[in-house]
Amino acid sequence: MSTTETNIPKNPQDNGEISINFGEIYRVLKFYKLFIAVLALVFAGIGALYALTQPNEYTATVKLLPELDSKAAGGGLGGLKSLAGLAGIDLGGAGTSSEAIRPDLYPNIVQSAPFLQEALKSQVYFSKKKKWMKTSEFLNNKESNAPLSLFGPGKEDKEAEKAGNERILIPQNANSANILNFSKKEDATLTKLKGRISAEIDKKSGIITITVKMQDPVVAANLTSLSQTYLTKYVVNYRTEKSRKEVIFLETRQAEARKRYDQALYNSSTYKDQNRNVFLNVVKDQEKKLQYEVDLAFNLYSSLSTQLADAQVKIHRETPVFKVLEPVQVPLLKSEPKRSLITLGFMFVGIFISLGYIFFKEVDLKSLLG
């Protein structure tokens, strides 16, 4: 026999290889199949019981298509800049745009503290009790709509209940009016509501999806509609705020110019009536002076009227358009919890625990590994 044949190992374990005895594994699984089935059923029962204690959650959504094509003073260059922005290219100062808020910032608006504060004060209809109540009262309601209530209030409810109503004292100065000061209980309620309202934007299509998840379908729909209204009003007010202030300024100046024109016209007419049959040069010069004041006041009034009309048209032109693609609907079916998935998950956990117990406590691993 050659030397090469004598160097070949006869046992695969000599090279660090492990052979698995599938026959022994099958025999063990067959022997303990009843134990595995019982433990899986026990864990499935625990999972089903746990799933029944979870409250039903209902999700309402609305889809909006905002106006992405910004209007620029530079004409076509502004539209080119808007398209370049959607493609991720920044053209810098190439044209001015009236789109002060980028659409990708819209989701932050419905997550802001001012909106959450307004949402908590809004009235929603609680269909289970068939009455209207504030959103804060609904969120702090201890009653659960779960089929079984075994574990009492959730973690968020306990934190909100333990939180105090005291606020940090802030000196009453000129800047304190712009500072939000919440108590611990209010902050906990705001955090709870913030976790139930979300907004996403599809960067490719520009569609904004607002989602609200609540334990009552009508409340979820109410808050979704409120979020939609708040978002559209916020963006419209932001886009047109400068133009609206300009309109108010021009209206004030126009009213003053109108009074000045009326007074100048009255002074000129009165002077002419009083000196109708007088042919002195002084009288004629004074009439010319008064007429100049009338013409100047009229020209100022006419110019301000034109500017006011342009500013009013500008407000309409800068007002963004939000197209509702999918209106808010009252959800008919619950979105959470997925009780069947929870039960299956617990069942698989029971199977894994039983297998681990069998292979590591009852089975001789040496025999399984050959």
pLDDT, tens digit, for every residue of 245-304? 999 999 999 999 999 999 988 888 887 777 776 667 676 778 888 888 989 999 999 999
pLDDT, tens digit, for every residue of 98-144? 445 677 788 889 999 999 999 999 999 988 888 899 988 888 887 77
The closest alpha carbon to 231, from 203, 258, 266, 200, belongs to 200
pLDDT, tens digit, for every residue of 307-355? 999 999 998 888 888 889 899 999 988 888 888 898 999 999 988 988 8
Please tell me the predicted confidence (pLDDT) of residue 103: 77
| pLDDT(34) > 90 | no
Its pTM stands at: 0.68
For tokens 């021009």, the residue is 250
Q: How far apart are CA 193 and CA 136, in angstroms?
A: 9
pLDDT, tens digit, for every residue of 74-98? 444 444 454 455 444 554 444 444 4
3 state SS of 211: strand
The closest alpha carbon to 136, from 160, 164, 167, belongs to 160
Domain ranges of the chain: 20-54+337-370, 55-336
